[in-house]
């Protein structure tokens, strides 16, 4: 057996231990990024080999939590890719306007900025009171931050400019209060979103969603897991529901591609056929 194959056995054994102990299954995460992240954790834990992580993770939940933090890349920002939000305002809002009530699911929402970004645009379009917004992630620490709706003010100038580029019509500061180095979103926005734990690998369908947004999550999955999660979304979406992926993600290579019309290739916005 080659050394690289032995290293793969080590990683498989580590992932199996994690699945059995904590019920998190990473076996279908893209191998190259998984290896990079395991290496990152090894350096932080001052260990040399993946097998040394096994007893640490099995007996110490804190080490597992650090593993999870290393793996769930929670990088996000307000109005990330403004042209995506502008596209939603222009091509999806006019359809949502025709519904008396609609449901939106942000899957893999990290610390929640994406959900607050959309809630503000819905409010400006007079649609927020018709929307039920669910925002989910498998990282409980991120979900706790999202629920609080308090963020560092460090990037506020970028947020303001991205808000305007996304079709924002007012002053971004109308939606939060300043708290020294932080901003806190208004209660009306916080109340409009239900933040919850949901693991795309093992948890079930979220029923009857008119719009599903899952950006910058598929890049961490292998092809089989991507197909599995796309099926989950397909089952969760209403007939003629919208599906939005990140700009590096596509349904083009999936079995489901013929069930969707492409609304925007560059922003990966699709609409389920009737």
Residues forming the site for ligand SAM (CB under 6 A): 72-76, 80, 108-110, 114, 137-139, 142, 199-201, 215-217, 220, 246
| Least distance CB 23 / ligand SAM (angstroms) | 12
| Least distance CB 72 / ligand SAM (angstroms) | 3
What is the four-CA torsion angle of 191, 96, 240, 213, rounded to 10 degrees? -40
Identify whether the C-beta of residue 270 lies closer than 8 Å to the C-beta of residue 263. Answer: yes
Q: What is the largest CA-CA distance in the chain?
A: 63
Residue with smaller CB distance to ligand SAM, 51 or 63: 63
Residue with smaller CB distance to ligand SAM, 86 or 178: 86
Residue with smaller CB distance to ligand SAM, 52 or 161: 161
Question: Is residue 149 helix, strand or coil?
Answer: coil
| Least distance CB 109 / ligand SAM (angstroms) | 6
Residue with smaller CB distance to ligand SAM, 123 or 198: 198
| Least distance CB 1 / ligand SAM (angstroms) | 30
Residue nearest to ligand SAM (CB): 72
Burial class (CB in 10 A: 0-12, 13-18, 19+), 70: middle
Task: For residue 182, list its beta bridge partners.
Answer: 152, 179
Identify whether the C-beta of residue 38 lies closer than 8 Å to the C-beta of residue 50. Answer: yes
């Amino acid at each position: 057996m080659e050394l690289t194959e032995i290293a793969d056995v080590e990683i498989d054994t580590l992932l199996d231990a994690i699945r059995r102990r904590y019920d998190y299954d990473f076996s279908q995460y893209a191998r190259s990024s998984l290896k990079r992240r395991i290496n990152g954790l090894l350096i932080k834990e001052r260990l040399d080999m993946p097998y040394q992580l096994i007893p640490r993770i099995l007996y110490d939940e804190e080490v597992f939590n650090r593993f999870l933090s290393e793996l769930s890349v929670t990088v996000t920002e307000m109005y990330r890719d403004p042209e995506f939000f502008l596209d939603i305002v222009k091509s999806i809002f006019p359809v949502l306007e025709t519904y008396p009530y609609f449901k939106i699911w942000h899957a893999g929402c990290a610390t929640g900025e994406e959900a607050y970004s959309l809630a503000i645009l819905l409010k400006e379009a007079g649609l927020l009171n018709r929307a039920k917004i669910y925002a989910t992630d498998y990282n409980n620490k991120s979900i706790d931050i999202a629920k609080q709706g308090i963020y560092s003010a460090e990037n506020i100038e970028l947020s303001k400019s991205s808000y305007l580029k996304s079709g924002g019509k007012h002053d971004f500061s109308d939606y939060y209060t300043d708290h020294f180095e932080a901003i806190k979103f208004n209660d009306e926005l916080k109340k409009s979103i239900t933040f919850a734990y949901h693991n795309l690998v093992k948890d079930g369908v979220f029923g009857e969603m008119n719009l599903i947004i899952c950006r910058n999550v598929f890049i961490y999955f292998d092809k089989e897991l991507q197909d599995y999660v796309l099926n989950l979304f397909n089952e969760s979406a209403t007939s003629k529901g919208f599906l939005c992926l990140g700009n590096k993600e596509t349904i083009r290579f999936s079995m489901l591609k013929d069930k969707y019309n492409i609304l925007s290739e560059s922003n990966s916005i699709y609409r389920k056929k009737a």
